[in-house]
Structure 1
Amino acid sequence: MTRHCLVLGGARSGKTAFAERLALHAGARPAYLATADMLDSEMRDRVASHQASRGARFTTVEEPLDLSRAILRTGASHDVILVDCLTLWITNLLMANEDVSTAVGELGATLMEFRQAKVILVSNEVGLGIVPDNAMARTFRDLAGSAHQRLAEICEDVYFVAAGLPLTMKGEAPAPIS
């Protein structure tokens, strides 16, 4: 059975590196489904740096909005799909005036039915800090928290990464990987 996975952590916590190791260990044909929308030069540089660090180990697929369809399409030719990251995806949905709750519900339904490839979702845990001082930031935090709860219910494995160290929150502890 294909086990979907949610990897949470703070910014620069090591969650993406951990998820990449999981993906490389889990399959022979991994895809990297990137949700970043490169709106400025800093983001373009950041994306280029991430792509360079991955090298040719992953096929990169870019999709800032329609994550469910991208997973279905990518799963036809890959055995592992690493989605990085959900919080950027939620931001993209908000900026496009899309209904985030509906999109998260669609993603959840897709994951419950989709077993052609392992899906590893990466997201920033934003609920551990102070209450944001503006309505938009509070809305974002609330939507991200709700999405994480819903997806953690669906995923068989959930990890929290801090200082590069994964904590198993649900499911199987990861096999030793380097």
Structure 2
Amino acid sequence: MKANIHFVTGGQRSGKSAFAEKVTLELSETPIYLATSKKWDEEHNERIALHQERREECWTTVEAPIEIHQNDFTGKVVLLDCITLWLTNIFDEVSYDKEKALQRAQEIWTALIQQDCTLIVVSNEIGLGGISMNKASRQFTDIHGLINQFIAQQAQKVTFVVSGLPMTVKE
């Protein structure tokens, strides 16, 4: 592994993306925003627009719904937002096969972190709530938790954001 990783996690609307953007801008005047979201519907498009409006012109946006490792980020500061949407795309690509999704995600992630770059990585903590009645949702929650653990173990720093307040988990 060559990448320097700061993993930022928290609940939906916890302030984790805004925090990650602030951290990224402290590290670079010309950061890269690695966007993993597909545009699904009007409500989701509005969420994407809010993120875009918040970012200044100094950001370069790279869209990669699945193949996050295929761009050369050597020497760059990259904000990857977010693991949850990236995993959603992978889970869909492999027709909701839990083992295939986990393997594919680990392979792509491992290829990405071979690059000598700084990665600020945003993810959700989706397993903090109730257990879904839907099998695919439960499997996705499992995969997501495992990938979060996989990334956090490799990260040099981990921050958990609650109600807009960052808490250092790993330094």
| Secondary structure of 2:119 counterpart | strand
Contact residue 33 and residue 60 of structure 2 kept, 8 A: yes
**Counterpart-to-counterpart distance in 1, 2:56 and 2:82:** 18
Partner of 2:23: 22
Give the TM-score normalised by the residue count of structure 1.
0.86
Contact residue 3 and residue 113 of structure 2 kept, 8 A: no
- Structure 1 runs of 4+ with >6 Å offset: none
Instruction: Answer with 106-115 or 146-155: which moved more.
Output: 106-115
**Counterpart-to-counterpart distance in 2, 1:44 and 1:108:** 26
2:83 equivalent to 1:86? yes
Partner of 1:125: 125
**Counterpart-to-counterpart distance in 1, 2:164 and 2:65:** 26
2:153 equivalent to 1:153? yes
2:11 equivalent to 1:10? yes
Alpha-carbon shift at residue 49 of structure 1 (Å): 2.1
Partner of 1:49: 50
**Counterpart-to-counterpart distance in 1, 2:3 and 2:89:** 28
Task: Give 1:135-174 correspondences, 5 Å limit.
Answer: 135-171=135-171
**Counterpart-to-counterpart distance in 2, 1:8 and 1:129:** 15
Structure 1 residue runs of 5 or longer lacking an equivalent are 172-178
Instruction: Answer with 100-109 or 54-63: which moved more.
Output: 100-109
CA-based RMSD: 1.7
Contact residue 108 and residue 150 of structure 1 kept, 8 A: no
Structure 2 residue runs of 5 or longer lacking an equivalent are none
CA shift digits 1:74-120 (9 cap, x unpaired) = 414x62110111001111111122632122222442354222x2011
Alpha-carbon shift at residue 50 of structure 1 (Å): 1.3
Identity %: 38
Contact residue 3 and residue 114 of structure 2 kept, 8 A: no
Contact residue 90 and residue 105 of structure 2 kept, 8 A: no
Counting matched residue pairs gives: 166
Alpha-carbon shift at residue 127 of structure 1 (Å): 1.3
2:73 equivalent to 1:75? yes
Contact residue 160 and residue 168 of structure 2 kept, 8 A: yes
Cα distance change on mapping 1:106 and 1:2 into 2, 3 Å: closer
